[in-house]
Amino acid sequence: MTIEPNNYTAIPNVVFDYWMNRLSHTEFKTLCTLCRKIFGWHKTSDFISVRQLTKATGMAKQSIISSLKNLEERGLVMMIKRERNGCPITNEYRLNIEKPLDEKYQDALDQEDQRTEFVCPNFVGGGPTIRPGVVQPLDQGVVQPLDHQKKDYPKERLTKEREGASAPKPPISVSPPQKIPRNLHIHTTDVEHEKLLNSFGEDRVKSLYELLSEWKMDTPKSKWKKSDYRSILRWVNDALNDRELKKKKQENLDAQESNVDHAQRIAEEFNAVRGPQRQVQLTTTQDSLVIYTTHPTSTRKPFTIKFKENAFQEQVHSALRKWGLL
């Protein structure tokens, strides 16, 4: 195939030899289009719009803008922005296609580092081609490079070096903090004890120590944990909360039983003496004390007081005053 005269674009070889594998697909495509628009018309610069580049490359507008920005940062393209009456118009583009200076310098170093070859004169009848270096000729004419890494020390010298070498320092042993007895079978460090005091308070900590001590006395030693501090945080505090809750429930039951006895005594006393005079009666149910009127025409509703309510006795006396029984 022959190319017709003046039917080609002269693009510098560095575009293909150097930049093609360093640019992205969109950047290389944009660069080749700029070369066609500028070098193809034998110009040094040209006014090219983004729409022209989009139509020529078939890429999106945003891809063209991003590629132009990257090419400008690499120094391959110089964009000159223009305005007319304060409005932007088509930009002017110039190409500066060269290999970076640092790459040129590296190529020069690579060429300079190539060593020349020569024939060893000590080899009988000519010699093999070798690279320059330190060599040691032998009687048979064999060339052997010296190995500077090997050190042939005598045994006496090695022994002295080993004996003179400083022995490694033993690791520094850090003794664990001392645990102090707080209760029977309970031991914690000062730091742990201080943390417990800050979290629960002095009275609460004493209760925790007592509960854990009771558990240890009733439990085989094989089931004890190593750290009393961790045991307190994990389960002793919850166990103490459960114990206090059960105790409070029992106190409420005891108070309720005493309230029942008090209500029955008051009902018997007032029903026998003042109840008939005031036409008021007191009766006890399973869970409450009821005060009601026996007057046939009264519309007063019965008054009920639960046994489990707080301040039961005070509420009873207050109700009796309202009903005129006290």
Does residue 287 lie in a domain region?
yes
- Provide mean pLDDT across the span 44-58: 90
What is the structure's pLDDT at 141? 44
Residue 60 is predicted with a pLDDT of 92
Structural domain harbouring 89 = 13-101
Domain boundary among 77, 101, 125: 101
- For residue 61, being part of any structural domain is answered with yes
Burial string for 199-237 (b: 16+ CB within 10 Å, else e) reads: ebeeeebebbbbbbbebbeeeeeeeeeeebbebbbeebb
Give the pLDDT confidence of 173-223 residue by residue, as tens digits. Answer: 667 888 888 888 888 999 999 999 998 899 999 999 999 998 988 888 888
In this structure, the answer to whether residues 239 and 283 fall within a common structural domain is: no
Domains identified in the chain, total number: 3
Instruction: Return d(Cα 112, Cα 164) in angstroms, integer.
Output: 47
Are 209 and 183 within 8 A, CB to CB? yes
Measured CA to CA, the distance from residue 123 to residue 139 in angstroms comes to 10
Does residue 125 lie in a domain region?
Answer: no
Q: What percent of the chain has pLDDT over 70?
A: 69
Residue 284 phi/psi, 5° resolution?
Answer: -115, 135
Enter the DSSP assignment of 235. I
Q: Can you give the pLDDT at residue 8?
A: 82
The answer to whether the beta carbons of residues 11 and 19 sit under 8 Å apart is no
| 195 and 266 assigned to the same domain | no
Q: Does residue 170 surpass a pLDDT of 60?
A: yes
